[in-house]
Amino acid sequence: MKQQSHRKRKQLWETVLFTLPALILISVVMYIPFLMSGYYSLTEWNGIAKNPTFIGFANFAAIFGGSSNFLYSLGFTVKYTLLFVIASNILALALATALTKKFRLANVYRGIFFIPYIMSMTIVGFIWKFIFTQGLDKIYDLLPIACLKWSWLGDPKIAFYSVVLVGVWQGLGFYIVLYIAGLQAVPADVLEAATVDGASGRQRFFKVVLPLLGPSFTTCIFMSLTNGLKVFDIILALTKGGPGTATYSTTMQIYQEAFTNNNYGMGSAQAILYFIVVMVITQLTLKLMGSKEVEL
């Protein structure tokens, strides 16, 4: 009895000792800064003054009063995220389906599609900025197609789609890998049974394969959703929010408010509001996708 009690105490101490460093690190990096941001959101502070001025909910009132670009940037971020999620998942699923076929260079193509994902978002942004500003002009000299002469980053209407294009191109390989894993996990005997029952290739894909990809859909949609909502690096490298405010994301707005305008109180208030928005959207998405998986 004593040995059992001693063993339990030892296991408890081991659990505490092993988890305490991680808890301290997470607290220092995440929890404490989050609580400090909550306090600064109720103040007027330039990041330099020793004592921030407490102003209550004035920053939040100013945001909803339209005195900042926060609501506009939120609208852009929502549009970007919707198009990013739809395009990423449709293209990734189509390419994953093609790459699960048996042909000689399948693994090579998988690696090629995955390379952009391991590159820095800032580097990707600078590469595509060069392509849009100089590379397409060189191609136009060889292949005179009208769209190659468009102002891809200078026209407010086109710049939005340019940013989406670069975002999808950079993250596509990651979602392809997830869908390939899901496709390879589909039981072969289920597909054989559908074939025996006379199902065509299209019927097997839409009636058998897609329903069994529920977990892959949940993972890919959730990951693409979060990546779309936190878009920052690509916009900073490509357009810096321009032309005008055509590609002005919420993360860019928070960055500009806090670190360019030195208005840390307003920046913190916007960050807190955006945290709430992201939390609500992601939780609703997970709940919706989870319910679809149960039905499937």
Nearest to 110 by CA among 173, 186, 166: 173
- The per-residue pLDDT for range 153-202, each reduced to its tens digit, is 988 889 999 999 999 999 999 999 999 999 988 888 888 888 887 888 78
SS3 at position 44: strand
**Buried-exposed string 89-118: b where 16+ CB fall within 10 A, e elsewhere:** bebbbebbeebbeeeeeeeeebeebeebbe
- The per-residue pLDDT for range 216-246, each reduced to its tens digit, is 898 999 999 999 999 998 998 898 888 888 8
Q: Which pLDDT score, from 0 to 100, does residue 253 have? A: 92
Percent above pLDDT 70 for the chain: 97
Percent above pLDDT 90 for the chain: 41
Nearest to 219 by CA among 165, 179, 172, 180: 179
Residue 13, amino acid: W
pLDDT confidence bin for 296, thresholds 50/70/90? very low
The pair of structure tokens assigned to 174 is: 């990651």
Domains and CATH numbers, the chain: 58-295 (1.10.3720.10)
Mean pLDDT score, 21-46? 90
Q: Count CA within 13 A, CB hemisphere, residue 122.
A: 1
Q: Which pLDDT score, from 0 to 100, does residue 249 have? A: 92
Q: How far apart are CA 179 and CA 218, in angstroms?
A: 11
Q: Which pLDDT score, from 0 to 100, does residue 292 have? A: 66
Identify the bridge partners of residue 54 per DSSP, sorted by sequence position: 43
SS3 at position 54: strand
Q: How far apart are CA 219 and CA 209, in angstroms?
A: 16
pLDDT confidence bin for 295, thresholds 50/70/90? very low
Q: How far apart are CA 10 and CA 233, in angstroms?
A: 47
Check if the beta carbon of residue 180 is closer than 8 Å to that of residue 92.
no
Mean pLDDT score, 34-47? 90
Mean pLDDT score, 42-58? 88
Mean pLDDT score, 249-271? 91
- The per-residue pLDDT for range 106-154, each reduced to its tens digit, is 888 888 999 999 988 888 888 999 999 888 888 888 888 888 888 899 8
Categorise residue 144: left if φ over 0, alpha if ψ from -120 to 50, beta otherwise.
Answer: beta
Q: Is the dihedral of CA 169, 174, 178, 181 positive or negative?
A: positive
Q: Which pLDDT score, from 0 to 100, does residue 2 have? A: 62
**Buried-exposed string 22-35: b where 16+ CB fall within 10 A, e elsewhere:** eeeeeeeeeeeeee
Q: How far apart are CA 70 and CA 186, in angstroms?
A: 44
Q: Count CA within 13 A, CB hemisphere, residue 28.
A: 6
Average pLDDT, the chain: 88
Q: How far apart are CA 217 and CA 289, in angstroms?
A: 8
Any idea which residue has 């859909």 for tokens? 217
